[in-house]
Amino acid sequence: MDITATATEWHEERTIDSETPIEPLSLWGRIATFFGIMIPFAGVIGAGVLIWGNGFNWLDFALMAGMYILTAGSVTIGFHRLFVHRSYETSMSVKFVLAVTGSFALQGSLMKWVALHRRHHQHSDTPDDVHSPHHSGTGVIGFLRGFWHSHIGFAFLADPPNLERYVKDLNASPTLRLAERLYILWVLLGLAIPFALGGLISGTWMGAWTGLIWGGLVRIFLVHHVTWSVNSACHIWGKRRYRSRDESRDNILFGILALGEGWHNSHHAFPTSARHGLLWWQLDVSYLMIRLLSILGLAQKVKVPSAQHIKQERVHSRASV
């Protein structure tokens, strides 16, 4: 059963202090990041060549869609709503599975992902927020620089100092520390699964390789850019229905594509809520996944804001409708 949660539940424990400037990644770090971004893009080009030469293959599409839902869903209900915001509780075995499948996204290990996102909420849309599109100058050039920075440029920055202070709770778990240490293994597993399924189902090596391209590389590309669009597009375009201290927006396109994460103003207004799509028509696939876990007895203490709290935080203006 859902329980109500306040908008500031985890933030009450935080301390806000000034941050030191974040330096660019080392040369080798920038090279690794570049290839981590460009190899999935090369997979998209390869998929286009395959369609041009061999037509459309429903098995490859099924592998891409299935791996997308598994990976993006594990990021949203695992990395984000469970580990960052503690919007529900579950067993350690479920946590471990979500830590593994969330790592398939190639967006950084569990601890780093959670720490950076908690830091983002602490400094949302201030100059200390490395994800903000709003501090890169004025005019068209400033807008483009800000969008690039919030969408992908932040990945070329070194980790902020003392990042581990944001994940002391997760580091207390030996199981989650193990999931963290084996991050590269999980990334490789996320590529091996569509490769193996493609080969086994089609009965051919070509099916294995096309499964790797669609269910592996293309899927990573899509999860990357849909997730990053929550950082960029959802702080620029959309509706501000609720009071928040930043420029977060409810964006219908990414509300759908990001499995509910695009209802971003709702999330920033009620950060500990397991449900981001608070209006009846706002599809929130991630919340439906959490509800399914709850029905199966795998999720407890699912937090949602009360109707009264939602009403109190509503921005009453025509622009927010």
Query: What tens digit of pLDDT does each residue of 155-210 get?
Result: 999 998 889 999 999 999 999 999 999 999 999 999 999 999 999 999 999 999 99
Residue 134 — pLDDT band, cuts 50, 70, 90?
A: very high
Q: What are the phi and psi torsion angles at 236 (to 5°)?
A: -130, -50
Cα distances from 172 to residues 111, 178, 216, 248, 287, in angstroms, run 11, 11, 32, 32, 27
Q: What pLDDT shows up at residue 3?
A: 58
CA distances from 129 to 20, 152, 160, 206, 231 (A): 12, 14, 10, 45, 11
Structure confidence at residue 215 (pLDDT):
98
pLDDT in tens, 70-124: 999 999 999 999 999 999 999 999 999 999 999 999 999 999 999 999 999 999 9
| Residue-by-residue DSSP string for 77-125 | IIIIIIIIT--SB--HHHHHHHHHHHHTT-S--HHHHHHHHHHHHHTTT
Residue 316: Cβ within 10 Å count: 8
Closest CA to 247 of 255, 258, 263, 236: 236
Q: Confidence band (pLDDT; 50, 70, 90) for 49?
A: very high
Q: Calculate mean pLDDT across residues 142-153.
A: 95
pLDDT for res 44: 96
**Nearest alpha carbon to residue 6 among 314, 315, 310:** 310
What are the structure tokens assigned to 302, written together?
Answer: 């699912």
Where exactly are the structural domains of the chain? 23-238
Element (DSSP H or E) covering residue 303: strand 302-304
Distances (CA, A) of 257 to 73, 79, 90, 218: 11, 17, 25, 15
Q: Given this model, what pLDDT does residue 23 score?
A: 80
Does the structure show a pLDDT above 70 at 308? yes
pTM score of the predicted model: 0.92
Residue 190 near residue 216 (C-beta atoms within 8 A): yes
Mean predicted confidence (pLDDT) in 263-288: 98
**Dihedral sign, CA of 279, 275, 217, 160?**
positive
pLDDT > 70: what percent of the chain?
92
Q: Do 315 and 240 touch, CB atoms closer than 8 A?
A: yes
Is the pLDDT confidence value at 6 over 50? no
Place of tokens 């990021």: 75
Which residue matches tokens 């859902």?
2
Give the tens place of pLDDT for each residue, 264-274: 999 999 999 99
Mean local confidence (pLDDT), 7-29: 60
Q: Are strands 2-4 and 302-304 parallel, antiparallel or unpaired?
A: parallel
